[in-house]
Structure 1
Amino acid sequence: MPWCVKKCPYCDFNSHALPKVQGVQEATSIVDLPDSALPAELEQAYLQALIQDAAQQQPLAQGRCISSVFIGGGTPSLISAKGYQWLFKQLKALFDFSADCEITLEANPGTLEHQPFADYLEAGINRLSLGVQTFDSVQLQRLGRIHSQDDAMQAITRAREAGFNRLNVDLMHGLPAQTEAQALHDLHTAIGQGATHVSWYQLTIEPNTVFFRTQPVLPEDDILADIQQAGEAVLHNHGYVQYEVSAWAKEQPCRHNLNYWQFGDYLAIGAGAHGKVTQPEGIYRFQKTRQPKDYLDQQPASMLNWQAIAADDMAFEFMMNALRLKEGVPSSFYNTRTGLSLDNLQPILTKLRQQGLLVADEQRLQCTAQGFNYLNDVLSEFVMD
C-alpha cells in the first residue's frame, strides 16, 4: 500500500504522498466504503488492481496454502478496514489460506492514519506493526513524523484494548544527537506499554532521501556501540528473544519474516512489491512497478525483472538471509530450498568454523556470537568470483 500522509526524510521505501482523485480512472463500485484517508475512487480502483494482480500469480502458489500475509507500505492503515474485508474475501477465493494464517498490518500511530483498531481485527488482520520509531517529541520532529509521543503511547494501548495480542513496535536508534539514555527510554516505554515484539534497528542514511542530501549529525561509533549493547541487555532482561538481526519477540516471532530469512517463497502484490518463487526450472525473483499510477494503468501489473537466481549467486543469496537468524537454519535447508548440494561450500564452512565464526555443529548453518557481530565479513566469504 504505497501511500503516506507525508514522506519522511529518512525513508527510502516505496511511499508516495496522498494523491488527489484527479487523473485516477473511475472504477465500478465494489463495496460501499465509508470515508477513508484515500479518496474512495482511488481506494476502490487500487483494491481491484490488487485482486487482478493476485489472480495472475495464482499459478505460482502451486497449490500451497498462504501461511502469512504482510501488508506493508507506505502506510497500509490509510486503506479502510471495510476495504480490507473485501480484499481478503477476494483473496480467499483465489488461494487456500491456512487456518492459523498470520496477517500483519503496518500502521502509524497518528489518528489521521488509521481507523479504530478493532475494525482491522474484524477484517481478519491478527497482527499489528506500529511505526513508532521513537517516543521522543524532539526526535519525532527531526524525523518528520506527524504523530506525537502521546499518539504513540495511546496507539499501543488502544491496539491492545481492541484485542491485538500480537503487537510489534518499530523503533530506531542512533538518531541525530541521541544519547544512550534516550534510546533506552524508547525501549522501556515500548516494553511498558505491552509490545509483544520489537523491531529495533539503527538509523541508516539511504540514497534518494532528504537525509542523504542534507545529512544530519549522527552519534559517533562508540556511542552507537554502547547503545546497541545496552539496548540488547534491556530487551533480554525483559524476556524478549532476539531471533534476527533487528527482531526481538517476547511470545511469537513474525512468521512472515521467518519465511524471508529461511529462503521461503512469497508472492508480490501491489505497487513496488517484490516476490520470490521456486519453479521446476529454477528460483526466480520479480517485482512490480513502483509508481501507483503506472500500477493502476497496467491492471494486472507486469512481472518486472523476472530473473532466475544464478547458481553462482545462490550461496550468497541463501546465506545472506539464513545467517541473519540468531539460531540459523538446519543445514538441510540449503539443499531443499536451493536444489544445490552443500558439498561445494564445505571448504568455506570449514574455514569459518575454524575461525570461530560459524558454530561447529555441521547439522546447522548458524553464526557464533562473534560471527553474528561480524556478519558482513562472514557473508563476503560466499561471494563467488
Structure 2
Amino acid sequence: MSSATLAPATPGQFQLPPLALYIHIPWCVRKCPYCDFNSHAAGPELPEEAYVDALLADLDIDLPAAHGRALGSIFFGGGTPSLFSARALDRLLQGVNRRLAFAADIEITLEANPGTFEQAKFVDYRALGINRLSIGVQSFHGEQLKALGRIHDGAEAIRAAEMARRAGFDNFNLDLMHGLPGQDVAGALADLRQAIALAPTHLSWYQLTLEPNTVFWSQPPQIPEDDILWDIQEAGQALLAEHGFAQYETSAYARDNRRARHNLNYWSFGDFLGIGAGAHAKLSDPHGQIRRSWKTRLPRDYLDPGKPFQAGERLLEAAELPFEFMMNALRLTGGVPAALFEQRTGLPLASISDACAAARAAGLLDADPQVLRPTPRGQLFLNDLLQHFLD
C-alpha cells in the first residue's frame, strides 16, 4: 500500500477513543521458562509501598494525556499482581480514582496465579471493587505443569476457581494453553473439559509458542507436530462452541457476552495509559496525533527516584496507521465497523480502499464494505491478511 494514498482526514473526522489503564506489577514467585513478559522473581520482601508511590507518581506525569476522559477499564497485569496485598491495591485504586474518574460500569481485572490464592485475600480484593479475575491455570495436568515451570498443581488450579467464586467473583477468565510438551489431542481436550466444568465466564485458550529471550527458546522442549496441533485446534473450538463459549478474538472465548472489555479496547484501537515497570501506552490527542510510549523495564530503575519513568516514545506516522489499526481490529472474529477506521486513525476510509480490495480478492477480508472483518480464511492466515496494509 502506497503512503501517497494517505491523505489527512477532514476536520472532525477523528474522535478521541475510550480510555483504559494498564498497571504492571512485575514480580512473580518464579520465572516460567516460556514467559517473555517483563517479570522478575520476587525476593523475600516486596517493595509494595514504594512501588505504589512510584505508580501514582508515574500516573501524575501522564494525566494530561487523559484529556478529561473517564476510565472504562483497569487491568492489573504482570508478573503476578495477586502477590500484592489488598491494602496496597486499595491505596493504589483510591489514588487512581482521585486522579481519574471511573465509568459507572468500570471493569477492573486482576491477574492471579493459583499458587497465590488465599480465600480471605480475594474476598478483600472483591471488596475493593476489583470485579474480574484472570487466573493463569495453563494446564490441569501435573506433567505439563512441571514442564511449564508452574508452581501449582491441578488440584490447586481447581480450588482457585472455586475460591474465586466463593469470594464473590461472578466474572472470571481462565488462561489455558495447548500444544504443550508431550500433549496429545485427548490430553488437550481433557484440560479444556476441566476448565469448562469450572464454569468461567471467559476462556483464553491459546497455543504455546517459543519466544525469544526465554529458556524455551534456548532449550526448546519437544512440542506436538503440526498435524496434532491442528487437530487440537479444531476439536477444541468445536468443544468450546458446544458449551456456549463464543470465539470473538483469535484466542478469546466468552459465555453470556462476557467479553473482556479491557482487551476489546486494545483490539478496537482504543487508548490506554500504562504505568509500572515496562508498561506500554497508546495515547491520542485531540488533533489526531497518536503516540506509543513505554516505561523503564527493570523494577530497580523504575523505583530509582533519580531516573525517569518513561524509557521512550514515538509518534505514529500516517503511513503506519492502517497496519497498526488492522493488526488489532482484525484479531476480532466479528471485525469492526468500517467507520471506526476514520474515527480512530483520522484517515479517510478511501485511503485503504486498494488494500481492502486486494484483501477481498484474496478471500481474506469480508466483502461487506460496512465492516472490516476477516473471513474464516483470513482468520487462519491473519499475517497474510495484514500484509495488505503494510506501507
Normalising by the residue count of structure 1, what TM-score does the alignment of the two structures yield? Answer: 0.92
Q: Per the alignment, in what secondary structure is the counterpart of residue 268 of structure 1?
A: strand
- Structure 2: 5+ residue stretches without partners: 1-24
Asked whether 1:237 is paired with 2:242, we answer: yes
Q: Per the alignment, in what secondary structure is the counterpart of residue 291 of structure 2?
A: strand
1:133 alignment partner in structure 2:
138
Offset of residue 57 of structure 1: 1.1
Paired residues of 1:49 and 1:299 also in contact (CA < 8 A):
no
How far apart are the structure 2 equivalents of 1:198 and 1:300?
A: 39
Paired residues of 1:53 and 1:299 also in contact (CA < 8 A):
no
1:198 alignment partner in structure 2:
203
Asked whether 1:321 is paired with 2:348, we answer: no
1:371 alignment partner in structure 2:
378
Asked whether 1:3 is paired with 2:27, we answer: yes
- Structure 1: 5+ residue stretches without partners: 21-37
The equivalent position to 2:260 in structure 1, one of 254, 266, 270, is 254
Paired residues of 2:270 and 2:344 also in contact (CA < 8 A):
yes
How far apart are the structure 1 equivalents of 2:69 and 2:306?
A: 24
Offset of residue 55 of structure 1: 1.1
1:278 alignment partner in structure 2:
284
Offset of residue 206 of structure 1: 0.5
Offset of residue 111 of structure 1: 3.9
Deviations 1:147-196 (A, max 9, x none): 01100000001101111011100000000121011111111111101111
How far apart are the structure 2 equivalents of 1:250 and 1:230?
A: 18
Paired residues of 1:3 and 1:75 also in contact (CA < 8 A):
yes
How far apart are the structure 1 equivalents of 2:70 and 2:96?
A: 12
Offset of residue 305 of structure 1: 2.0
Asked whether 1:360 is paired with 2:367, we answer: yes
How far apart are the structure 2 equivalents of 1:173 and 1:325?
A: 20
> Which range moves more in the overlay, 115-124 or 164-173?
115-124
Paired residues of 2:82 and 2:116 also in contact (CA < 8 A):
no
How far apart are the structure 2 equivalents of 1:192 and 1:134?
A: 14
The letter of the residue matching 1:61 is A
> Residues 263 and 337 (structure 1 numbering): CA distance in 2 closer, same or farther, change over 3 Å?
same
The equivalent position to 2:193 in structure 1, one of 188, 195, 201, is 188
Paired residues of 2:119 and 2:163 also in contact (CA < 8 A):
no
1:68 alignment partner in structure 2:
73
Offset of residue 116 of structure 1: 2.9
Offset of residue 302 of structure 1: 3.0
Asked whether 1:383 is paired with 2:390, we answer: yes
The equivalent position to 1:13 in structure 2, one of 28, 37, 54, is 37
Q: Per the alignment, in what secondary structure is the counterpart of residue 110 of structure 1?
A: helix
Q: Per the alignment, in what secondary structure is the counterpart of residue 30 of structure 2?
A: coil
Q: Per the alignment, in what secondary structure is the counterpart of residue 274 of structure 2?
A: coil
- Report % sequence identity: 53
How far apart are the structure 2 equivalents of 1:298 and 1:206?
A: 32
Normalising by the residue count of structure 2, what TM-score does the alignment of the two structures yield? Answer: 0.91
How far apart are the structure 2 equivalents of 1:301 and 1:325?
A: 36
Paired residues of 1:81 and 1:115 also in contact (CA < 8 A):
no
Offset of residue 115 of structure 1: 5.8
Q: Per the alignment, in what secondary structure is the counterpart of residue 222 of structure 1?
A: helix
Q: How does 1:98-109 map to 2 (within 5 A)?
A: 98-109=103-114
Asked whether 1:292 is paired with 2:299, we answer: yes
Q: Per the alignment, in what secondary structure is the counterpart of residue 260 of structure 1?
A: helix
How far apart are the structure 2 equivalents of 1:198 and 1:339?
A: 34
How far apart are the structure 2 equivalents of 1:112 and 1:120?
A: 11
1:90 alignment partner in structure 2:
95
Offset of residue 16 of structure 1: 0.4
How far apart are the structure 1 equivalents of 2:55 and 2:156?
A: 31
> Residues 187 and 370 (structure 1 numbering): CA distance in 2 closer, same or farther, change over 3 Å?
same
The letter of the residue matching 1:372 is Q
Offset of residue 46 of structure 1: 0.3
The equivalent position to 1:341 in structure 2, one of 343, 348, 352, is 348
CA RMSD of aligned residues (A): 1.4
Which structure has more relative contact order (CA 8 Å, sep 6+)? It is: 2
Offset of residue 112 of structure 1: 6.5
Deviations 1:235-292 (A, max 9, x none): 0000011110000001210000000000000001100100000022510000001100
Offset of residue 114 of structure 1: 8.3
Paired residues of 1:52 and 1:300 also in contact (CA < 8 A):
no
How far apart are the structure 1 equivalents of 2:118 and 2:80?
A: 7
